[in-house]
A and B are shown apart, each in its own frame.
Chain A
């Protein structure tokens, strides 16, 4: 661990002072300088110095290493959501780069600390990850690498089957022991009110009888597990699958880490936008020396560049934040603004409210990507920033711009961000067809699953559940039951 040399430490303190003056609120951040190989290593571990042994980190490392060698990418900045925060600087970067990274990281740390979606994450995750690594290593020593690794492989297939909002909501009231009884007592036969002499006509005895039978049948029906379809598939498996001790431990670790990383995936655009906003603000208004301007501008442009067909979260995030700032500075919000249709009036609209800064601080506290874009991605913004949606053209084999229409563009953006652009999969029944089989449902919203992946994932779930697993989904417009019984895949129409 190379401690930060004194001159960089001075710069860090200076930039932090600027940040505080703007109202940023961050944890103590400790920077470390790494050479590019260590940087790639840490990046492969998603920013952490230690992770449990698994080949996919090696794959990520190989990938980063190749991209570096071929000059395709360079890792500038990395920061961990932890208190105190840890961040890394690349050895050999120019001073102006290091300044920019420090300022950028400051933005991230402020975001980690204050954004609501991060509020439930483990702020001592550095230790957490190290503990996970130790636990997994212990299992490996006992059981051998192959066994443990292949189980981790299975668990990772399900890594995305969590419920990112569950830390904030109680999805299901805990079942109380007297729930059953209470239901019985309060249950009344539905009958229409009638005068006594009309009773047999309005509520004929046969009908009442039938209702009673139905109700009893309903009551005696075995209760479903889960009571309602459950999104946190990992939790469901932890509670219900026949796992051995070490397997449970590993599944728990995977789930823990998935929940830790979820907010970062939920806030990619707004988080990067926020950090980019602050690095450029601090750099251009305070920290830059005249001699550094050109280099800064060059690198900043690199970070914010977007190739056609690319959705650069830095760029979109920062422009949208600036757009919001301008709107609230000039009072371009509320009923009056929304209803104004005079384009000249809209163009020159300025009520000199100066609420912009306050508003973006609010946004950084309460929003995630979906809500951020849903609320603030306006038609004006879409047009000014030349957004378009593109699609694959079968005939030319190219991706082509298919629309600049605001509604379509926004729909597509939100679709990509909702549930990280991944399908919703829920556990519906742990005793499917009364055979102890697991039934999952894909909540189909217009896009089919990738079938090969779905099959392979079913294999992984079967490995954990140890009984046949079925997924109900829709393929090519037809409802399908994809089933894997440990040997063969079948797909029956549902």
Chain B
């Protein structure tokens, strides 16, 4: 039902979107939003959007209430201030505004703000399948699809109407016009499948802060890619000296300590791609986050070898994000840079702190691959 207020409401939503865009950097770099994620909406606390007025400052001076209690008893946490003045309703928008946005919408805002290009999924045409569903009834069709019940009902109705129905000898004979057949609709099902493989270094040198950065960045990459593909899968690999696949929860929580052998993770990723995600059908996005402190030069050489042979030819994009940590040497970033300067599908980015997350996302996803 159309309401007269709809244009005003739409206008308000636009303003909200604008505000979110303005403050996107702030939202992106604090992890709070992730905690607020519902099924597929996030609610975002907005800075005030209300009309400024000359008004009194501190609400600290409280108000007047009614009820039992001793001096010194709490009357409730938070801010009863505005409600307490007894004028609720006369000043709209006094309350902290929480706006709900679907993740899609959020991804769109993110995309607009970072000027991320739309991703053109590969293998689109090839992967379109068709699906037939019986959705309706029609008057013509093959006998094999005849709908007995509907046909019978139609015949009965005709006979009752024409007066040829005799309740004592109920005999229904359908004629051609009575016949009803099932009909179907063909819907194309585009299948652009994508998988994200998040790889994180959990060796001793990755502290809590580094993991938080990885967590936030993964969330946003995840959000953006999900808005681009229906049915996105994610896989998680953690590694120190050995690599293993884990679930999402473990991925973000584990704290291991050990040496670092990046090649172990790359091997596992290559194996995963080979076994489950044939590149002809899947868009594959590995993201590797590490502090760039590999165990040995030999291992680095091995990594580069695996990347060249087994990973790069199969993936859309290989992203390496290096988180700065007080212990890591950060050598791996340089090594990758040296070897893949020319390679289009390798993107490296250095994430110094939370503020750099946004820039890093732009680097990773800015190519639209």
Contact residues of A with B, CB < 8 Å? 37-38, 41, 44-45, 49-50, 53-63, 66, 149, 153, 156-161, 261, 264-265, 268-269, 306-313, 315-316, 385-392, 394, 396-404, 409, 412-413, 416-417, 420-423, 425, 442, 447-454, 456-457, 460
Contact = CB atoms under 8 A, between A and B. Distances in A.
Contacts of A59: 12, 49-50, 92-93, 97
Interface string B48-80: 011111111111111111111111111111111
A310 B66 CA distance: 7
Contact of A56 (B1, B13, B74, B92): B92
A448 B49 CA distance: 22
A456 B63 contact: no
A393 to B, nearest CB: 8
A209 to B, nearest CB: 47
15 contacts: A58-B7, A149-B11, A156-B51, A309-B63, A315-B66, A386-B68, A389-B63, A390-B80, A392-B60, A392-B62, A401-B73, A409-B64, A412-B62, A423-B55, A453-B53
A66 B9 CA distance: 13
Given A62-B9, A311-B64, A421-B87, A400 B52 contact: no
Contacts of B69: 308, 388, 401
A422 B56 contact: yes
Nearest to B65: A309
B61 A460 contact: no
Contacts of B7: 53, 58
B233 interface: no
Contact of A457 (B11, B53, B85, B97): B53
B5 interface: yes
Contacts of B253: none
Nearest to A160: B53
Residue of A58, A66, A309, A409 with highest tally of chain B CB at under 10 A? A309
A415 to B, nearest CB: 9
B56 A398 contact: no
Contact of B55 (A153, A315, A422): A422
Given A41-B4, A61-B5, A308 B92 contact: no
B86 A157 contact: no
A332 to B, nearest CB: 22
Interface in B78-122: 78-80, 83-87, 90, 92-93, 95, 97-99
B86 A312 contact: yes
A404 to B, nearest CB: 7
Interface in B12-63: 12-15, 49-63
A269 B55 CA distance: 21
A453 B48 CA distance: 11
Nearest to A409: B64
The 3 closest A-B pairs by CB, nearest first: A58-B12, A309-B75, A456-B52
Contacts of B85: 311, 416, 421
A60 B93 contact: yes
Contacts of A412: 62-64
Contacts of A452: 52
Interface of B: 1, 3-5, 7-15, 49-80, 83-87, 90, 92-93, 95, 97-99
Contact of A402 (B13, B54, B58, B62): B62
A58 B62 contact: no
A41 B52 contact: no
Contact of A423 (B4, B56, B66): B56
A311 B72 contact: no
A37 B51 contact: no
Contacts of B4: 41, 45, 49-50
A449 B52 contact: no
A400 B74 contact: yes
Given A50-B4, A58-B8, A398 B74 contact: yes
B73 to A, nearest CB: 5
B67 A308 contact: yes
B54 to A, nearest CB: 5
A390 B63 contact: yes
Given A58-B10, A389-B63, A392-B61, A268 B90 contact: yes
B55 A388 contact: no
B5 A57 contact: yes
A231 B72 CA distance: 39
A87 B126 CA distance: 62
Contact of B54 (A60, A265, A421, A457): A457
Q: Which of A37, A55, A264 has the most CB of B within 10 A?
A: A55
A36 to B, nearest CB: 11
A148 to B, nearest CB: 12
A309 B73 CA distance: 11
B57 A399 contact: no
A44 B75 contact: no
A31 to B, nearest CB: 20
A401 B72 contact: yes
Contacts of A56: 8, 12, 50-51, 92-93
A391 B62 contact: yes
A57 B10 CA distance: 10
B15 A55 contact: yes
Contacts of A391: 60-62
Of B52, B67, B69, chain A has the most CB atoms within 10 Å of the CB of B52
A38 B93 CA distance: 20
B8 A313 contact: no
Given A390-B75, A402-B62, A54 B54 contact: no
Given A55-B11, A310-B66, A392-B62, 5 more contacts: A149-B11, A157-B53, A160-B54, A269-B86, A417-B86
B8 A447 contact: no
Contact of B52 (A49, A268, A421, A460): A460
A269 B86 CA distance: 8
Contacts of A399: 62, 74-80
B62 A389 contact: yes
A59 to B, nearest CB: 5
Contacts of A387: 64-66
Contacts of B90: 261, 264-265, 268, 420
A54 B56 CA distance: 26
B54 A453 contact: yes
A66 B93 CA distance: 12
Given A309-B75, A412-B63, A268 B87 contact: yes
A403 to B, nearest CB: 6
A447 B54 contact: no
Contacts of A423: 54-56
A179 to B, nearest CB: 33
A309 B3 contact: no
A385 B66 contact: yes
A56 B97 CA distance: 13
Nearest to B8: A58
Given A58-B9, A62-B9, A311-B63, A401 B84 contact: no
A390 B65 CA distance: 7
